[in-house]
Structure 1
Amino acid sequence: MKVLVTGATGFIGRLVVQHLREAGAELRLASRHPETFGLADGAVLMPNFDAPAAAFLALTRDVTHVVHCAGLNNDQGDVREDDYRAANVELSARLAHAAAAQASGRFIHLSSIRAVIGARVSATIDENTPPAPQCVYGRSKREGEIKVLDAYASHGRSDAAVLRLPPAYGSGMKGNLATLMRLADTALPLPTGALTGIRSLMSREATARAVSHLLSHSGPLRPIYVGADVPPVTVEAIIAAFRKGFGRPRRLMTVPAGLIRPAASGLGKRAFWDSLTATQICDPALLVSQGWAPETATLERLAELARLSKS
């Protein structure tokens, strides 16, 4: 088995590479920064979305499976819509068409729950949740999903699948979780008692195990899967776990949301506040029913992450 992993130097891609290598898979690694790997790793430069078709055919030649981790995330700062479309839509489509034409095995496309739901909407998310992305990033991820599945369907194949992820955590994480961890690393009391939102998270390790499971399980692939740690956790518990890992006192104050919301608006952080008070629960029952084991010690893992970040 030879697996092409794109985005192999990224936050998720690095763990996917490690997991597949430990499982004995032969790998071809594609990245914007192939120099990160040693010469023995055989890493290659990831083609641009507008590269000739021959570049994508060369990338997918002689591989069994493709794990597509490459993409432009929503934690990159000021990014244009055209940039999201190039990275998350056009590049994914070009790669999927080349893989469908000549890769003999499965294509696993890593996506996000932002493809189906906005950051400030409360909902339970599974494979049947109607897509309603509410940001440029989410729309690009949803269109990328469609392009990948359509590319395989156009070649008469059904062995491509989309894995939608909630916010992922691990060393080097960015976005709201990284912001919460920085906020937790202070001795000052925090007015977090109003953060009653419940959130699904997913560790990088659990994500890598989900990818390996989808590549190897014997049954046919479904087009969409949703991953998550279980059970979901409250935002307040997330901050408390970080504080525990930092060795700081809990010091979380119960302050009515009606007092915090205007303050957040005045500081230009209303969207951030609303995203922390929304409840978004991902249901990974389909993956679990096929034999995948989710992470079940989320808060302990978050505390350990904070502890390691200090050392």
Structure 2
Amino acid sequence: MKVLVTGATGFIGRQVVHRLREAGVGLRLASRRPERLDAGSDAMPMPGFDAPAAAFLALTRDVTDIVHCAGLNNDQGNATEADFRAANAQLSARLAHAAATQASGRFIHLSSIRAVIGARASATIDENTVPEPQDAYGRSKREAEIAVLDAYASHGRADAAILRLPPVYGIGMKGNLATLMRLADTALPIPTGALTANRSLLSSQSAARAVWHLLCHSQPLHPVYTASDVPPVSVAAIIGAFSRGFGRPTRLVPMPAGPMRAAAILLGKRPFWDSLTATQICDPSLLASQGWAPESSTLERLTEIARLRKSRLPV
């Protein structure tokens, strides 16, 4: 077994590489920044979406399986719809077509729940959720999912799978979770009456374990899987966990949602506020039924991340 990991220097890609190395798997690593990879690795630059077909064939030659982590994340505030489509959908399509022609094993494509639901909507998400992406990032991820599965189907193959992830936490995380962690490291009160929405999260280590599980378990692949920690946790509890890690008292204030929402609108932060107050619960039952064990100590892990961050901050 030799696995190609794209996006190998990224937030999740690094964890996938670490997990596969622990398993003793041969690796080829692809990154837009190959200079960041270990010297002596079988490493290649990640082709752009418009690279010649030969570049994708060279990348997938002599590997058995592919884990596709590379892509443009939604924390890139200046990215356009065309940028997301090129980096996520078109790149994934070209990689999948090359892999389907010459890689004998499985293709695991890391996607996001944004492919099926917007950040401001409340819902329970599983493999049967009807896709309704609400922004450029979500649309590009959904298009990428379709492209990967279609590429393998066009070669008469059913050994590609989509792994949809909720917000992923770990050292180096970005986005709303990083914002909440910064908030927790202040003396600001936490309005618990407004932040009771439950959210499913996933640790970066659990994401990597899910990838390894899908690569090596003996059952046929389903087209789509959803991963998450269990149980979901409230936004107030997330901030509280970070506060404990920073050694700060958790200042819980029973403030109703109405005034907080009005203040967010006045400050031009309504999208962020709506995303904080939406309940989004992922159901990982399908993946768990095939032997994957979800993380169940989410708040303890968040506390440890904040503790580690505090220890690394300059005095």
1:126 maps to which residue?
126
Q: Give me the whole-angstrom Cα distance separating, in 2, the residues matched to 1:151 and 1:190.
A: 48
How much does 1:241 deviate? 0.4
Q: Give me the whole-angstrom Cα distance separating, in 1, the residues matched to 2:169 and 2:17.
A: 17
How much does 1:253 deviate? 0.8
The yes-or-no answer on 1:197 pairing with 2:197 is yes
The aligned amino acid for 1:183 is L
2:137 maps to which residue?
137
- Deviations along 1:282-308, one digit per CA (max 9) or x if unpaired, are 000000000001100000000000000
- Deviations along 1:14-66, one digit per CA (max 9) or x if unpaired, are 00000001100000000000000122112110001000101000000010000
How much does 1:193 deviate? 2.9
1:272 maps to which residue?
272
% same residue: 76
How much does 1:194 deviate? 1.2
The aligned amino acid for 2:178 is A
The yes-or-no answer on 1:302 pairing with 2:296 is no
Across the aligned residues of Structure 1 and Structure 2, the Cα RMSD in angstroms comes to: 0.6
Q: Give 1:87-102 correspondences, 5 Å limit.
A: 87-102=87-102
The aligned amino acid for 2:89 is V
Identify unmatched segments of 5+ residues in structure 1. Answer: none
Q: Give me the whole-angstrom Cα distance separating, in 2, the residues matched to 1:135 and 1:239.
A: 26
Q: Secondary structure at the match of 2:62?
A: coil
- Deviations along 1:142-197, one digit per CA (max 9) or x if unpaired, are 00000000000000000000000000000000000000000010123232431111
Query: 22-31 vs 184-193, which deviates more?
Result: 184-193
How much does 1:279 deviate? 0.4
How much does 1:11 deviate? 0.4
Q: Give me the whole-angstrom Cα distance separating, in 2, the residues matched to 1:34 and 1:244.
A: 37
The aligned amino acid for 1:163 is L
- Asked if the contact 2:190–2:236 (Cα under 8 Å) also holds between the matched residues in 1, the reply is no
Q: Secondary structure at the match of 1:287?
A: helix
Q: Give me the whole-angstrom Cα distance separating, in 2, the residues matched to 1:215 and 1:38.
A: 23
Query: 162-171 vs 252-261, which deviates more?
Result: 252-261
1:171 maps to which residue?
171
Q: Give me the whole-angstrom Cα distance separating, in 2, the residues matched to 1:189 and 1:285.
A: 36
Identify unmatched segments of 5+ residues in structure 2. Answer: none
Q: Give 1:1-311 correspondences, 5 Å limit.
A: 1-311=1-311
Q: Secondary structure at the match of 1:288?
A: helix
- Count of residue pairs brought into register by the alignment: 311
Q: Give me the whole-angstrom Cα distance separating, in 2, the residues matched to 1:253 and 1:135.
A: 33
The aligned amino acid for 2:49 is F
Superposition TM-score, scaled by structure 2 size: 0.98
The aligned amino acid for 2:302 is L
- Deviations along 1:251-290, one digit per CA (max 9) or x if unpaired, are 1211111111110001111111110111000000000000
Q: Give me the whole-angstrom Cα distance separating, in 2, the residues matched to 1:176 and 1:193.
A: 19
Q: Give me the whole-angstrom Cα distance separating, in 2, the residues matched to 1:64 and 1:201.
A: 30
How much does 1:117 deviate? 0.3
How much does 1:76 deviate? 1.4
Q: Give me the whole-angstrom Cα distance separating, in 1, the residues matched to 2:190 and 2:287.
A: 37
How much does 1:77 deviate? 1.6
Q: Give me the whole-angstrom Cα distance separating, in 2, the residues matched to 1:137 and 1:11.
A: 17
Q: Give me the whole-angstrom Cα distance separating, in 2, the residues matched to 1:206 and 1:239.
A: 21
Q: Secondary structure at the match of 1:40?
A: coil
The aligned amino acid for 1:249 is P
Q: Give me the whole-angstrom Cα distance separating, in 2, the residues matched to 1:207 and 1:49.
A: 25
